Structure formats: structure tokens, C-alpha cells
């Protein structure tokens, strides 16, 4: 089997999603096979326009399919306050609608899996609506992907008294997320906010990107301002977590994950938010309430953040 990961990317193309596409395109062991759009960081129309913009910047020509503009149930929550109204920090980029295939995102995900079973990896970076729709078309879909890696979820239950960052992807479509975590699969990997929130692009790393001056590095830093504006309210510093890029990094190099647990994941609500959680306490015990059985998900619990951040910066600053 080839060591190159051939990746289908499902994305709500905001700032860290754009960074992820740049990172995948810069890694010699990755090939982007197709990209599908979904609502989330911005409305779906902006998400697909942003895919087109990044693809032109990269000189990338791959099939693009338009996906869901709203969740399977409920109302979409668009993260304009984080990613800007257009998803790329409102820099005024010319973003014409790209050419798209004549099938929906869900249909494309199903077709590619059936045409190339066991050869492709699916990387989900936004709300899981397209994946939920695809599972309605083919309930065995995930058994036909080499792996499914998603940025979302909250890991195991936290230490008592410790609160976690909101996981917008699961919260934006808990119905689809529940379908994803209950579906049969070869391998499903959850890279949640428990690990992405501590994988920080620091001031020196951002300065290194700014100093490079290549079109890729320049774009990567141009779109950061609204993201930095948001996260400085959390930490008092102009730094950001590498949410989506970390999921891509672990797909390509599982060694970036230094801790993981296997077990069932449920989507649970607290009256305000929905989260995907491994049904284990921090001590590794089952929770104190009944939960739904589900196939094992590989839930990342610890990462080598420093090594990943170094690789991310090196990849985006490579000529």
C-alpha cells in the first residue's frame, strides 16, 4: 500500500481550514483528491468560494462538490465573529464561484469510496452534515475509506472542575455527529478540542510565517487578524490554536498523537451545547449514567504539540 495518503477533504473553509489545505498541499506524503464544502465557519457559498480561492493559490485542480448549507435539524450557527463574514478574515479577496461537479458533496463522498475502496482517507473539518447525508446513501460508507479523521469532539470527560473549549463542529449538527459516531468503520479518529486547543501557533511561529514572504506564507498570515482578535480575548495574547491543521497532521503522521483511547463516543447535550465525548472518565472508567453502545473510535488524548507546530511552520514556509 502506498505511503502517500490520498485525502478527500470536507471543509467549512474558514481560516484554519485554509491553513489545513495549504499544509496538505505542502506535504510530500499527501495528495488532495477532492474537496467538499459545508456551512459552519461561514455560509456554504463562502466556503466553496474559499475552496476555489485556495485552490487557485496552490495551482490545485481537483473535483469540488457543494454540500450542506444547514444542519440536518435545527439552525446553523455561523462563526462570523471568529473567521470574518467571508470566512477568510474579510480581506477583500476576489473569490469567484469555482467550477463544481454535478453531484452533491454526499454523493461525491459515496462515489469516490465505492470507486476506490480502501485507498482514500476522509478528513472532516467542519460540521458533519455532509457525512451524515452520505451515510444515509450508504450506511457502510466508512468501511470503504482507509480512515476517517475528524476535527471535532471533546475527548474523554475532563478532570472534575475543568471546562473545555466549545466544539463548534459537533454542536452545529449533533444529529449528523451521532450518525457518524454510530456508523461501522475501518478506523474513525477523533481529534477534539481537548488536544487542538493546546496546540498553539505562538508569536514567534507567526513571526516566522510573516517573515517568509512566499505567496503561501503571506496568505497564511494575511487571514489571521480576525482569528487573532478572537483568541486574544481568551488568552490575552495574539496566538491561535491549530484546530483543523492538527487533524490533518495526525492523519498523515499518527506519531503526532502521543496518547489515545479506544471506545464508544456519544453525542450528549447539557441543555446549552452538544459535545461528542468518549464514554470514559479521565480515569478511564465508564460514566455514571447509561450510554448508547457504539463502535470504537480512536480518541486522541495527548499530542506532541511542539513537533507538530514546527512541522506546520516548516511546511508553510517551504519554497
Q: Which CATH number characterizes residue 22's domain?
A: 3.90.245.10
Using the 8-state DSSP alphabet, how is residue 255 labeled? G
How far is residue 19's CA from residue 247's CA, in Å, rounded to a whole number?
A: 12
The CA distance from 147 to 71, in Å, is 24
In this prediction, residues 270-277 reach a mean pLDDT of 93
Structural domain of 251? 5-317
User: 1 burial class (0-12, 13-18, 19+ CB within 10 angstroms)?
Assistant: exposed
Give the span between the Cα atoms of 61 and 270, in whole angstroms. Answer: 43
User: What is the number of domains present in the chain?
Assistant: 1
Contacts of 234 (CB under 8 A, 6+ apart): none
pTM recorded for the entire structure: 0.97
Give the pLDDT confidence of 92-151 residue by residue, as tens digits: 999 999 999 999 999 999 999 999 999 999 999 999 999 999 999 999 999 999 999 999
pLDDT tens for 62-83 read 999 999 999 999 999 999 999 9
Q: Is 243 a catalytic residue?
A: yes
Amino acid at each position: 500500500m502506498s505511503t502517500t495518503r490520498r485525502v478527500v477533504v470536507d471543509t467549512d473553509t474558514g481560516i484554519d481550514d485554509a491553513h489545513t489545505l495549504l499544509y496538505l498541499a505542502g506535504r510530500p506524503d499527501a495528495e488532495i483528491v477532492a474537496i467538499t464544502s459545508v456551512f459552519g465557519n461561514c455560509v456554504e457559498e463562502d466556503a466553496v468560494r474559499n475552496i476555489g480561492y485556495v485552490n487557485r493559490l496552490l495551482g490545485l485542480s481537483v473535483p469540488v462538490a457543494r454540500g450542506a448549507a444547514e444542519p440536518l435539524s435545527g439552525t446553523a450557527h455561523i462563526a462570523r465573529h471568529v473567521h470574518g463574514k467571508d470566512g477568510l478574515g474579510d480581506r477583500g479577496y476576489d473569490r469567484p464561484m469555482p467550477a463544481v461537479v454535478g453531484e452533491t458533496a454526499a454523493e461525491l463522498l459515496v462515489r469516490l469510496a465505492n470507486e476506490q475502496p480502501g485507498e482514500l482517507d476522509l478528513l472532516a473539518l467542519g460540521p458533519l452534515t455532509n457525512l451524515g447525508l452520505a451515510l444515509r446513501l450508504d450506511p457502510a460508507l466508512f468501511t470503504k475509506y482507509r480512515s476517517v479523521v475528524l476535527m471535532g469532539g471533546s475527548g474523554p470527560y475532563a478532570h472534575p472542575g475543568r471546562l473545555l473549549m466549545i466544539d463548534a463542529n459537533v454542536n452545529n449538527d449533533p444529529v449528523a455527529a451521532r450518525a457518524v459516531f454510530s456508523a461501522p468503520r475501518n478506523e474513525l479518529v477523533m481529534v477534539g478540542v481537548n488536544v487542538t486547543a493546546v496546540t498553539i501557533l505562538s508569536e514567534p511561529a507567526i513571526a516566522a510565517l510573516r517573515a517568509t514572504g512566499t505567496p503561501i506564507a503571506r496568505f497564511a498570515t494575511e487571514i489571521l487578524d480576525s482569528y487573532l482578535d478572537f483568541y486574544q480575548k481568551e488568552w490575552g495574547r495574539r496566538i491561535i490554536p491549530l484546530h483543523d491543521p492538527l487533524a490533518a497532521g495526525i492523519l498523515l503522521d499518527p506519531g503526532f498523537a502521543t496518547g489515545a483511547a479506544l471506545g464508544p463516543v456519544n453525542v450528549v447535550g447539557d441543555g446549552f451545547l452538544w459535545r461528542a465525548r468518549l464514554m470514559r472518565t479521565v480515569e478511564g472508567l465508564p460514566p455514571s449514567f447509561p450510554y448508547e453502545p457504539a463502535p470504537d473510535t480512536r480518541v486522541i488524548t495527548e499530542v506532541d504539540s511542539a513537533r507538530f507546530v514546527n512541522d506546520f511552520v516548516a511546511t508553510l514556509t517551504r519554497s
